[in-house]
Structure formats: structure tokens, C-alpha cells
Structure 1
């Protein structure tokens, strides 16, 4: 038989006092004698009384919960970002309600509404790659619920955000490839509509410009292309590709597979750099050079920005562009990390 939850009324009846007297005693309010307060506290402890969080949240107009919307859990990047968020929210006494969008706008809209219905105190979100409308996010902000964006952002949304410096991250990767002698550098771009895709592509272009290397359209591939492997195979076979920079480590792995089929040795003939420093980068052979985005720090900064906005809605817009770190491993000529 399920044990009944002890209520303030139960304690009041046992001590022949009013529920309001018990409430004041439990919450440190006045108009309760020290003797009676001690009796109430002692009985509450004996009976195992626990405050009703729903009633408490209605009274304080705060739930001490934070909503989080991320595209998925499978990528190491998001699990590390989640760890950074939780390190801050847990310390501050907040619980996380986590939803995933699966990179689908309809699911993101549903998740946003679910979190608003749960009366969360604020929301952290990584917008999905399929987003082309932001009415649901504007609706959330108009409701007075604080919002902070992490990893990705849109210029259409005026809210605090924390991202990595993808332009500099990409620039450092391609600049390094140029420094070790690469001149035909293949680039596989990320999903359309994402700020991360645009900024990494701009970093790629700027590094080529610095080294006075012509941008070749035939060396630009789209990750969404259903014939991506065939396009990679064509590039490696026909364009003397000696370097590759990809939007993600997983796309770099696609290059590894095709290079292996064509008997193109990495790094002797082809140097490769990915992005995000996923665990796969240290498991494949040769180990993959990549760009670390500091996902744990990104999550921690985002959580702190959200708490700041919850506690002070009028606070100035906070924006953080985290430094990236180029990690050179075995996939670049003559270097082993």
C-alpha cells in the first residue's frame, strides 16, 4: 500500500494548531513562539515531512527548473555541453528538463511548448538545423521566459548566446594545412541555414586568401548531398586533393573510407582535419587532427548567462565567443599528436 505523503494539515491536526501556523514555522515566518516552532519542526522531521514543490513553485512563481533543447544526445559534443550546463545548474539548486529536437523544427516547437507548459524558469537551446522560422522562439521570449542560445545562433533572435569562434577555428585548421604544403584543399560544408556552417566556410576561404590559393568550386561539397561519397571519390581521383577540412569529424571519417578504397595514404598523400574533437578522432587510424570547441565550457557559460537573466531580467545582453583549439594528430603530414 502506498504511503501517504505528510502534509502541513497533518502536522497542524496533530499539534492542534492552524495550517498557517505550521507553514510560518516551517518557513521561518514570525508570529510563532519559539517553543511551538520547535515542536512543529521536531514533528515534521519525525513524520518525514517534505514540502510540496508544486505548491511552493506556485507561491514563489518559480519552479527551480530549467529547460534544455538540444538536437540529440549521441554526439559527444552535446553530452559534454550538457555536463557543463549541469555543473552550474545543479550547484545553483536547479533541475534540468531535457528535450531533443532531432534536428526537426516541428519537434523543436513541440519541445518549446512542453517546457513553457511546465513553467520552467528559463530555457537553454541549440536551434535545429532545419529552422527557417523563429516565431516559436519569439513567442517564448514574449512570454517572459528567459532564453539563452548555445552552439548555434540566429541574427533574427535578440537574446544572450554562447558559441565557439568557428571562423577562427576553421581558419586555424586550413591555415595549418596550407603551412604544411597543401594546395588543393577539399572542404565538406555543414547543413544549410546554420551559423556554424557559414562561419567555418568563411574561415576556410580566409585561410586560402592569406596563402594566395585560389578558391576552387569543384573542391566544395555539401554534407547533405545524397551522393556525397561519390563526390568525394571523384574529387580525390580527379583534382589532386592533398588536404581536406570538414565540417565535422564524422565527415572526415567519410574521407578516410574513400581514401582507403582508393589506396590514398593518410597523411603521406592526403592530410585531413575535422571539427569538434569527437571520440572517433582518437579511435581511427591514423588519429584525426581536429578543432576542439570547448563544449563543457560552452554549456557552463550558457547556464550562467541564463541564471543571470533569470535573477535580473534587465541585465545587458551577454554574448560569448569561445576560443577554439587546433589539435594536431596523425592525419597531417609528418606530425603525430
Structure 2
């Protein structure tokens, strides 16, 4: 038989006091003598009393829960973001309600509605790559539920953001390739609707401009094209290519497979750089040079921003762009400038 949950009323009857007296004693309220407070707290501990979070949320208008919406769990990036969030929220006494959009617009909209219905105290989210309408985000703001967005920017939504500096990260990656002697660098782009795709593409172009390398539209490939491997294979057979910069490590891996199947040496003939520094970058051969976005820091800072808004609804919106780090491995040659110092 299921054990009956001990209530404030049970404690009040046992000590012949009112439920309100028990409530004040357990919640630090006044007008309860120290002796009586100690008796109540001791009995509550003995009986295994636990506060009812639903009842408390109705009284305080707070649920001590935070909603989180991320595209998926399979990417190491989002698992590290989650770890960063939990490092902050758990210490602050908040529980996470986690939803995934699976990069689908309809599922993302449903997830936001679910979290609003659950009366979460705030929401952390990364919008999905297939979303180009943001009425559901505006609905969150209109409900006065604090919202912090991570990794991807929505120009239409005025809220707090934590992102990585994708422009600078891409610039550093391509600048490195150019310094090692590459001049014909393929760029495999990310989804068109994402700010991250645009910023990485702009970083690619800026690095070319710095080194006075003409921009060549033919070197640009769409990462979501199902024929991507074949198109790269066809292009490299008749055109000089000595570098690849991909929107993600997974797209970089696609390029690695194409080059390997064509018998093209990496990095001697073609150097490759990915993005996000996923575990796959150390599992492939050769190991992949990649851009680390500091996802743990992204999660912890975003959680801090959200807690600030929850505690003070009038606090100003906050924005943080995290510096990235290029992690060099064997898919690229040594930096020529660094070599000159050896």
C-alpha cells in the first residue's frame, strides 16, 4: 500500500497547533516561539515531511523550475551546454524541464507551449534551424516569462543572448588555413536561416579579403544538400582545391570521406577545418582541426542571465559573445608563421 504523504495538517494535529503555525515554523516566518519552532521542525523531520511543491508554487507564484529547449542531445555541444546550465541552476535550487525540438518548427512551438503551461519560472532555448517564424517566442515575452536564447540569434526577438563569436571563430580558422599556404578553400555552409551560418560565412570571406584572395562562388557548397559528397567529388576532379572549412565537424567529416575515397592526402594536398570541436574530431583519421565554442561556459552564463531576470524582472537585458579557440590537429599543416620561429 502506498504510504500517505505527511502534511502540515498532520503535524499541526500531533502538536495541537494550527496549520498556519506549522507553516510559519517550517518556512522561517515570525510569531512562533523558538521552543515551539524547534518542536515543529523536529517532528517534521521525524515524520519525513516534505513540502508540496505544487502547493508552494500556487502560494509563491513560483515553481522553482526552468524550461530548457535544445535541438537535440546527440551532439556533444548541447550536452556540454546542458552541463553548464545545471552547474548553475542546481546550486540555485532550480529543477530543469528539458524538451527537444529535433530541429523541427512544430515540435519547438509545442515545447514552448508545454513549458508555459507548466508555469516554469523562465526558459532557456536554442531555436531550431528550420524555424523562420518567431511568434511563439514573442508569446513567451508577452507572458512576462524570462527568456534567454543561446547559440543562435533571432533578430526579431529582443531578449538576452549568449552566443559564441562565430565570425571571429571562422575568420581564425580560414586565416590559419591561408597562413599554411592554402589559397583555394572550399566552404561548406550551414542552414540558411541560422545566424551561425551567416556569421561563419562572413568570417570565411573576411579572411580571404585580409589575404587578398578573390572570393570564388564555385567554392561554396550547401551543407544540407543531399548530393554534397558527389558535388565535392565532381568539383575536386577538375578544379584545384587545397583547403576545406566546414560549418560543423560532421560536414568536415563528409569532406574527409570524399578526399579519402579519392586517394587525396590530408593535409598534404588538402587541409580541413571543422567547427564545434565535437568528439568526432579526435576519432577520425587524421584528427580534425576544429573551433571550440566553449559550450559549457555558454550554458552556465545563460543560466546566470536567466536567474538574474527571474530574481529581478526589471533587470536589463544581457548579451555575451564568447571567444572561440582554434584547436589544431593533424588535418591541417603547421602554421607557416609559427614554423618561421622554430
- Corresponding residue number in structure 2 for 1:105: 105
Is the contact between residue 66 and residue 97 of structure 1 (CA under 8 Å) also seen in structure 2? yes
> What are the equivalent positions in structure 2 for 1:31-110 lying under 5 Å apart?
31-110=31-110
Is the contact between residue 184 and residue 239 of structure 1 (CA under 8 Å) also seen in structure 2? no
TM-score (norm 2): 0.96
Which stretch has the larger CA shift, 310-319 or 140-149? 310-319
- Corresponding residue number in structure 1 for 2:258: 258
Query: Displacement, 1:35?
Result: 3.0
- Corresponding residue number in structure 1 for 2:210: 210
Distance 2:296 2:167 in 1: 20
Distance 2:114 2:163 in 1: 25
- Corresponding residue number in structure 2 for 1:201: 201
Deviation track 1:284-330 (CA, whole Å, cap 9, x = no partner) reads: 11110010000000111100011111111111221001000011110
SS of the equivalent of 2:221 reads strand
Q: Is there any run of 5+ residues in structure 2 with no aligned partner, and where?
A: 336-342
- Corresponding residue number in structure 2 for 1:322: 322
Query: Displacement, 1:182?
Result: 0.7
- Corresponding residue number in structure 1 for 2:288: 288
- Corresponding residue number in structure 2 for 1:132: 132
Distance 2:222 2:28 in 1: 62
TM-score (norm 1): 0.97
Is the contact between residue 221 and residue 228 of structure 1 (CA under 8 Å) also seen in structure 2? yes
- Corresponding residue number in structure 1 for 2:149: 149
Is the contact between residue 147 and residue 306 of structure 1 (CA under 8 Å) also seen in structure 2? yes
Is the contact between residue 293 and residue 323 of structure 1 (CA under 8 Å) also seen in structure 2? yes
Distance 1:243 1:218 in 2: 14
- Corresponding residue number in structure 2 for 1:12: 12
Distance 1:287 1:81 in 2: 23
Distance 1:59 1:199 in 2: 46
Is the contact between residue 160 and residue 317 of structure 1 (CA under 8 Å) also seen in structure 2? yes
Query: Displacement, 1:37?
Result: 2.3
Distance 1:334 1:152 in 2: 32
Deviation track 1:28-77 (CA, whole Å, cap 9, x = no partner) reads: 22333333322222211111111111111111111111100000000000
Is the contact between residue 77 and residue 276 of structure 1 (CA under 8 Å) also seen in structure 2? yes
Deviation track 1:75-124 (CA, whole Å, cap 9, x = no partner) reads: 00000111011101111111111000000110000000111111110000
- Corresponding residue number in structure 2 for 1:163: 163
Distance 1:94 1:127 in 2: 22
Distance 2:294 2:6 in 1: 46
Query: Displacement, 1:334?
Result: 4.2
Distance 2:124 2:226 in 1: 32
Q: Does structure 1 residue 189 correspond to structure 2 residue 226? A: no
Deviation track 1:244-280 (CA, whole Å, cap 9, x = no partner) reads: 0000000010011110111000011000000000001
- Corresponding residue number in structure 2 for 1:25: 25
Which stretch has the larger CA shift, 245-254 or 16-25? 16-25
Distance 2:159 2:265 in 1: 46
- Corresponding residue number in structure 1 for 2:175: 175
Distance 1:36 1:134 in 2: 54
- Corresponding residue number in structure 2 for 1:268: 268
Distance 1:28 1:154 in 2: 43
